[in-house]
């Protein structure tokens, strides 16, 4: 909840900054939310490098995502690169693995929010400012608590780092390419590119939702993927039902919808490491309210998302079944990213 409150405070400050450039408000808000979540737990000195790198990479990737527009091929290329690089981040440990997952999710959401009328450089600037706000709010909150954070369980878990004794991060990354992490990155990238193409073909109104599901569900083993798929599908169904019901009774103005959007984001971060089904439910609710802000029909958006989730789950399980059939099990299986 403390991390979620930091994210909410940073989101509100980002809205104040972005009010003069209304078409990128959500980009700045997403920056504060993702940078806060990517930092994880622990001392500020431990969070800061990840948060700074995430802010810089996110600014570049967000701009590229908005630049790619609505062309399926360009979207597949940008998202494929984001997925591969984000997955390889697991070579540097659990915190980096989580940040890599969020980086890929940010690319997906940037594509979801993008429009031909939005200048990519404005998205990059908004993300940079949102990231700086998130870092500042997190530092102030930790200092005010007088504890400077505690090491979370996710940092104490065994990591999937490659080449820990290597001379540099570059050497670790090169070693990761041919490791189980690298093969999993290739499998996830293929699945995401396929999901993008299916999304543009079958879900023209919301083509990114299948890919979002694949990115979140696909884990280093079929057993892990199946577990996450079940929880995500149940959570998505719950989020759709609640968000659609709430959206239908909210006033026609944007104020109530914005409050619901922010509340969903707060609870999404709060349940991120506690209950995956509820995390998926509030993530879904946030996206539904976001579509409502974009003047889309909440009912249509919600139930199309549920169907897209089912399709993404099927793609994920098929890809992992193929990987399991073609490759031997690694001696040290990779931990799930979330």
Cα 209 versus chain centre, distance = 12
pTM score, whole prediction = 0.67
287: closest CA among 338, 240, 246, 241?
A: 240
Same domain, residue pair 165 and 227: no
> 271: number of CA atoms within 13 Å, CB side?
16
Query: Coil, strand or helix: which one is 62?
Result: helix
d(CA 311, CA 21): 36
The residue among 177, 197, 223 that closes a domain is: 177
Q: List CB contacts of 49: < 8 A, sequence separation 6 or more.
A: none
Our measurement of the distance from residue 20's CA atom to the centroid of its chain's CA atoms, rounded to an integer in Å, reads 26
Predicted confidence at residue 134, as pLDDT, reads 92
Burial of 279-293, coded b for 16+ CB within 10 Å and e otherwise, reads bbbbbbbbbbbbbbe
Based on the fold, state whether residues 184 and 134 are members of the same structural domain. no
Contact between 65 and 111 under an 8 Å Cβ cutoff? The reply is yes
Measuring CA to CA, how many Å separate 241 from each of 42, 302, 336? 36, 8, 28
| Interior/surface letters 24-59, b for 16+ CB within 10 angstroms, e for the rest | bbbbbbbbbbbbbbbbbbbebebbeebbebbbebbb
Structure tokens at 168: 């540099």
103 plus 236 within the same structural domain: no
The pLDDT, as a whole number, for residue 49 is 92
One domain, residues 141 and 191: no
Last residue of a domain, one of 159, 177, 195: 177
Nearest-angstrom CA–CA distance, 139 and 225:
35
Among 143, 162, 177, identify where a domain stops: 177
pLDDT value at residue 153: 42
**Closest listed residue to residue 291, CA positions, set 308, 269, 274:** 308
pLDDT per residue, tens digit, the chain (338 aa), is 666 666 666 666 555 544 444 556 777 888 888 898 888 888 888 899 999 999 999 999 888 888 876 688 888 999 999 999 889 888 888 888 888 888 888 888 787 666 666 678 888 888 999 999 999 999 998 888 765 544 444 443 334 444 444 457 777 777 878 888 888 899 899 999 999 999 888 887 777 778 888 887 777 766 766 777 778 778 877 877 787 778 777 776 667 777 788 788 778 877 876 777 888 788 778 777 776 666 555 556 667 777 887 888 888 888 877 777 766 555 444 545 54
Are residues 211 and 147 located together in one domain of the fold? no
Q: Are residues 93 and 199 in the same domain?
A: no
Q: Give the pLDDT confidence score for residue 163 in this predicted structure.
A: 43
Say if residues 51 and 39 touch (Cβ distance below 8 Å): yes
Residues 211 and 283 in one domain: yes
Name the residue range of residue 148's domain: 1-177
Sign of the Cα torsion 20, 116, 79, 233 reads: positive
Are 203 and 170 members of one domain? no
Alpha helices in the chain (DSSP H): 2-18, 25-39, 44-68, 72-88, 94-113, 120-145, 153-156, 169-177, 180-202, 209-217, 222-249, 254-270, 276-293, 298-326
**Could you give the number of structural domains in the chain?**
2
């Amino acid at each position: 909840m403390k991390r979620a409150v930091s994210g909410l405070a940073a989101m509100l400050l980002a809205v104040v900054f972005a009010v003069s450039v209304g078409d990128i408000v959500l980009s700045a808000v997403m920056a504060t939310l993702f940078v806060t979540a990517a930092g994880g737990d622990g001392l500020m000195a431990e969070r800061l490098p990840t948060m700074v790198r995430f802010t810089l990479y996110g600014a570049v990737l967000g701009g590229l995502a908005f630049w790619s527009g609505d062309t399926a091929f360009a979207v597949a290329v940008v998202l494929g690169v984001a997925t591969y690089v984000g997955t390889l981040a697991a070579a540097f440990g659990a915190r980096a693995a989580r940040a890599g997952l969020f980086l890929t999710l940010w690319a997906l959401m940037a594509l979801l929010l993008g429009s031909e009328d939005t200048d990519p450089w404005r998205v990059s600037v908004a993300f940079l400012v949102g990231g700086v706000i998130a870092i500042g709010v997190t530092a102030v909150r930790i200092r005010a608590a007088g504890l400077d954070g505690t090491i979370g369980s996710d940092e104490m878990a065994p990591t999937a780092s490659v080449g820990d004794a290597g001379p540099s991060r570059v050497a670790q990354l090169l070693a990761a390419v041919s490791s189980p992490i690298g093969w999993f990155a290739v499998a996830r990238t293929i699945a995401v590119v396929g999901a993008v193409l299916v999304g543009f073909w079958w879900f023209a109104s919301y083509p990114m939702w299948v890919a979002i599901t694949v990115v979140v569900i696909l884990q280093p083993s079929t057993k892990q993927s199946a577990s996450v798929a079940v929880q995500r599908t149940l959570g998505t169904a719950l989020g759709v039902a609640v968000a659609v019901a709430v959206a239908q009774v909210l006033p026609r103005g944007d104020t109530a919808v914005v409050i619901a959007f922010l509340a969903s984001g707060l609870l999404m971060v709060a349940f991120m490491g506690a209950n995956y089904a509820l995390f998926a439910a509030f993530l879904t609710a946030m996206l539904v309210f976001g579509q409502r802000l974009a003047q889309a029909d909440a009912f249509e958006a919600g139930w199309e998302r549920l169907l897209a989730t089912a399709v993404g789950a099927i793609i994920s399980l098929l890809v992992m079944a193929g990987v399991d059939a073609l490759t031997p099990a690694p001696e040290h299986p990779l931990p799930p990213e979330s």
